[in-house]
Amino acid sequence: MTEFWEEAFKDKQEMWGLEPAKSAVLTKDIFLEHNIKNVLIPGIGYGRNAQIFIEKGMTVTGIEISQTAIDLAQKHFGSGLKIYHGSVTDMPFDNNLYDGIFCYGLIYLLDKDERAKLIQDCFSQLTKDGLIIFTAITKDAQSYGQGTLIGKDRYEMFGGVKIFFYDRQTIEEEFADTGLLEITEVTENYPFYLIKCKKRTL
């Protein structure tokens, strides 16, 4: 997987442009509403979704598997944006707690055990009353059912990318123990679910 993303970034550089994803814009509004100050972005890529949080005064920390993407991010942000080099499956990378975590376009690339670990690792690094926003590709995507079936609702396509397609029932099952608050739909390049979780104070 590391080699795949290294080649992808080398070939296409800033392949998604520099504008933030629609989900990032929506998450920024949610984070502002809840006075989020300290944000973790697993799978930060070259940082296109970081700028919108930084501009609003939030401190952003990232995790990224591709050194090429990290180099691109540092070109844009300098040393002001801390990014850990490694796989999100190796979280946590620090002992910090974050009051906001934004996980965009990532969870559906993992297998079932990896997804469960990512959800729990993010939840463990969240402050009390903190928020996590995940995006997950839905079964309404045109690519659902294409490629090679490698597991329930999981397909290999695009030269080796493995994608798990979510429905609301699966979200409720996978996020049941991590403060699931709300599921909304947002259309970007693909139809996504925006999954909002809160670490409630006991």
Residue 70 backbone dihedrals phi, psi, to 5 degrees: -60, -45
Asked if 132 and 122 touch (Cβ cutoff 8 Å), the reply is yes
Residues 163-190 as b/e (b if ≥16 CB within 10 A, e otherwise) read: bbbbeeebbeebbeebbbeebeebeeeb
Q: pLDDT per residue over 125-158, tens digit each?
A: 999 999 999 999 999 999 999 999 999 999 999 8
Please give the domain boundaries of the chain with CATH numbers for all domains: 2-140+167-198 (3.40.50.150)
pLDDT at 189: 84
135 residue type, one letter: T
What is the distance between the alpha carbons of residues 72 and 91, in angstroms, rounded to a whole number?
A: 22
For the entire predicted model, the pTM comes to 0.89
* Average predicted confidence (pLDDT) for the chain: 89
Instruction: Using alpha carbons, select from 162, 67, 148 the residue that is nearest to residue 110.
Output: 162
Q: pLDDT per residue over 30-45, tens digit each?
A: 999 999 999 999 999 9
